[in-house]
Structure 1
Amino acid sequence: MAREDKRRAILTGALTVFARDGYTRASIDAIASTAGVSTRTIYNHFADKAELFQAVIQESAGRAADAQIAVIDRHLRKVTDLEADLIEFGCAFAAPTTIEHAEHFALVRQINAELGHIPQAAIDAWQETGPLRVRREIAGRIRRWAERGLLRAEDPDRAALHLLVLISAGNPSLPDVVPTGTEMAESVTSGVRTFLHGHLH
């Protein structure tokens, strides 16, 4: 197996194990077994578990953010009816990531449960590569809508955070019950209307 193929196998196997077991409980032995490589091979690529975890979360968050930004671009590139377009966007925002990025969002749930035990560098890398990048993309759209007079937003970044929180009922990074399509649509609609109530002129 070529060096790059081994690295890919390690990252894939580590994502599976970290998403299942969390950072603290995951072992290099389990990751090696899942990846089909030796522990020595893992240490040839990564200094320790912390460095491997940071590489995994950064890459996984990047892929999930790419998918989410594609949804943002597809639904919010040209806004003609702000409320209707935001509702359509909100319903689509969680849907494409649920299956394709299921392990990533399982990993996010593990991170949220173990924040005090995970190296801060890994948390910062995840936030910058994933959630903050997505939020900045939405903030840019909100800034342009404000410039067009479609809404009022003194702080587009904070407004983007408000929007994301209000439409997050179907977010697969949240645990417990996954809403039905109808429940998610109703929740997103309510969230968008709440957002617009606070940001319309």
Structure 2
Amino acid sequence: MPDTTALRPGSPAKRAAIIRAALEVFVREGYARASVDAIAEAAGVSKRTIYDYYGGKEPLFLSAVRETAAAQATAFGDLLDRTLGEVTDVEEALTEFARAFATEVARSAERAAVVRLMIAEASHFPDLIHTAPQDRPVQRTLADRLAELGEQGLLEVPDPLEAAEFLGLLVTGPVNARSWYGTVRLDQEEIDRLATAGARVFLRAYAR
């Protein structure tokens, strides 16, 4: 592993371009076949710039996956604010959340690409998937929101992290299975049906 203490912070615009290009090349070629030369060409920067900013292919790969996941976590927080921000009818709100989240999972080509990439490279980068629930930002954010609903008396949530994991699986699992992780396009009616069913099962377990 290169010495990251000597890396340059660099231009934010160039870093963003490198991350976008890296994700595109890693998804298309896989980690082993992807080259820094190809990423540099796609980003419109020199190979030296990539080494100056990231140190090499492995840290660039990890940065591309993690930065993309962080951006998705931020977007997920916005989705939570829209759907579970001010809740009076918990069934209606959770169904709205489930449909919105399932649609995002089914429609986001970037999200699907990152998931497939992580699955493909899991044996080489196990830390990308072997993370504790509290270290997964999306699950932790959802757990915090479910805990708030529990405090409001709308849900019975003895273990918010566990509840968040179950809700996420119920909402996204069927969509991922039917779409082969974004490979097959689902129509909106099917997405809504699967998500609504997931929310209904969750409420049977956690509603007061």
Same fold (TM over 0.5): yes
Distance in 1, matches of 2:94 and 2:141, equals: 14
Deviation readout 1:40-93 (Å, 9 max, x if unpaired): 221122211111112211211111111111011111011121111111111112
Matched with 1:145 is 149
Q: Residues 150 and 200 of structure 1 are in contact (CA less than 8 Å); yes or no, is this contact kept in structure 2?
A: yes
Equivalent runs, 1:117-196 vs 2, <5 Å: 117-118=124-125, 120=127, 123=128, 132-168=136-172, 169-170=174-175, 174-196=181-203
Matched with 2:5 is none
Matched with 1:32 is 40
Number of residue pairs matched by the alignment: 193
Question: Which letter maps to 2:205?
Answer: G
Matched with 1:54 is 62
Distance in 2, matches of 1:50 and 1:32, equals: 15
Point out which structure has higher relative CO (alpha carbons under 8 A, 6+ apart). 1
Runs (5+) with no aligned partner, structure 2: 1-9
Q: Residues 102 and 195 of structure 2 are in contact (CA less than 8 Å); yes or no, is this contact kept in structure 1?
A: no
Distance in 2, matches of 1:155 and 1:16, equals: 38
Matched, 1:76 2:84: yes
Equivalent runs, 1:83-122 vs 2, <5 Å: 83-96=91-104, 102-118=109-125, 120=127
RMSD over equivalenced CA pairs, Å: 2.5
Distance in 1, matches of 2:97 and 2:160, equals: 18
Distance in 2, matches of 1:52 and 1:17, equals: 12
Matched with 1:44 is 52
